[in-house]
Amino acid sequence: MIQDIAPWKLRIEFEPHEPAPGDFVFDFTREGLLLRQGESLSFPTLEEWRKLPASGEGAQLIYAFRLEHEEEAGREMRFFLALRRTDSDIPAPEGWERLPARALWGYGWGWPAFAGITAFHLFNWYSTRRFCGRCGTPARPGGKERSMVCPQCGTVEYPSIPPSVLVAVRDGERLLLTRYNRPGTPRYVLVAGYVEAGETAEQAAAREVMEETGVRIRNLRYLGSQPWGLSGTLSLAFAAELDGPDTITWDREELAEACWVDRKDVPPVPNEESITMKIISAFRNGEW
Ligand SMILES: [Zn+2]
């Protein structure tokens, strides 16, 4: 999956320090992440970024995270986020391009894709917390922890990571698959949705399956989790069995289709970078 980046390991601990030569900069604008033009994902170093026209204007560099090499002690890469006071359009200079974060996954790019998507999660959070949500005063990044602090009323906000659930519902040799009613999402996925206030993850799973497809489930079993920075969520994946009638009545506003698919008819997945695709692929291969 996209977070499996061995031999690198994401160290998300907040360890603020001054950016130094060789550190990398994530520079997001409305048009996307600044990358070197080419076949791979390559981010500007601090020195390169500072030389690019307009890049440093009004931007504050905030420590994001580092990647640590698990086999070579001391080998690491450190990453900073460029934050500006407003969302801006800064065209990519010659030799560079801007790519939307959603274009980073699905191509087997390894650690740069996971780093870029995790940076996108942090960038989105920072850039929607520029003002205190309680009193409206411009907020400042916290110095000791990853937070935004209001200098007026003292409100402290921490990165938001809403949990969402994914549910793989089985009826014997059939899997319940859905397709979203949105352009650009042709492939089958699993039932998914956000956990609501006051709900357990298990209750959210049962509710989402009922709302999207009209069937009941039993024997819910936790499969695993995945950070999904594109939506800023943590996905909690479950397997479940059909409980009762198999008649599907799908939510036509949200879904283009919901159906039972025989194991032998489950189409191959385009990649296994998301936990959804990993689970569908494992069912197709008879692993569960
Ligand atoms: Zn405030």
Q: For 116-150, how does the pLDDT look when each residue is reduced to its tens digit (9 = 90+)?
A: 999 999 999 999 999 999 999 999 999 899 999 99
Q: How confident is the model at residue 54 (pLDDT cuts 50, 70, 90)?
A: confident
pLDDT at 186 over 70: no
Name the CATH superfamily housing domain 163-284: Nucleoside Triphosphate Pyrophosphohydrolase (3.90.79.10)
Q: For 58-95, how does the pLDDT look when each residue is reduced to its tens digit (9 = 90+)?
A: 899 999 999 999 999 999 999 999 998 887 788 899 99
- The pTM (predicted TM-score) of the whole model is 0.93
131 CA to centre of ligand 1 in angstroms: 8
Task: Of 222, 26, 246, give the one whose Cα is nearest residue 121.
Answer: 26
Other beta carbons less than 10 A from residue 258's beta carbon = 22
130 CA to centre of ligand 1 in angstroms: 11
pLDDT at 2 over 90: yes
85 CA to centre of ligand 1 in angstroms: 17
Please state the length of the chain: 288
198 CA to centre of ligand 1 in angstroms: 27
Q: Where are the alpha helices (DSSP H) in 74-194?
A: 111-127
Other beta carbons less than 10 A from residue 115's beta carbon = 26
How many helices (H) and strands (E) the chain has is answered by: 4, 16
Q: For 223-248, how does the pLDDT look when each residue is reduced to its tens digit (9 = 90+)?
A: 999 999 999 999 999 999 999 999 99
161 CA to centre of ligand 1 in angstroms: 21
Percent of the chain with pLDDT strictly greater than 70:
99
Work out the angle at residue 11's Cα, subtended by the Cα atoms of residues 9 and 15, and round it to the nearest 5 degrees: 155
156 CA to centre of ligand 1 in angstroms: 9
159 CA to centre of ligand 1 in angstroms: 17
Q: How confident is the model at residue 187 (pLDDT cuts 50, 70, 90)?
A: confident
151 CA to centre of ligand 1 in angstroms: 7
137 CA to centre of ligand 1 in angstroms: 5
Q: Do domains 8-120 and 163-284 have the same CATH topology?
A: yes
141 CA to centre of ligand 1 in angstroms: 13
> Domain extents for the chain?
8-120, 129-159, 163-284
Q: Provide CATH code, domain 8-120.
A: 3.90.79
Structure tokens, 280:
């569908």
Mean pLDDT of the chain: 94
19 CA to centre of ligand 1 in angstroms: 29
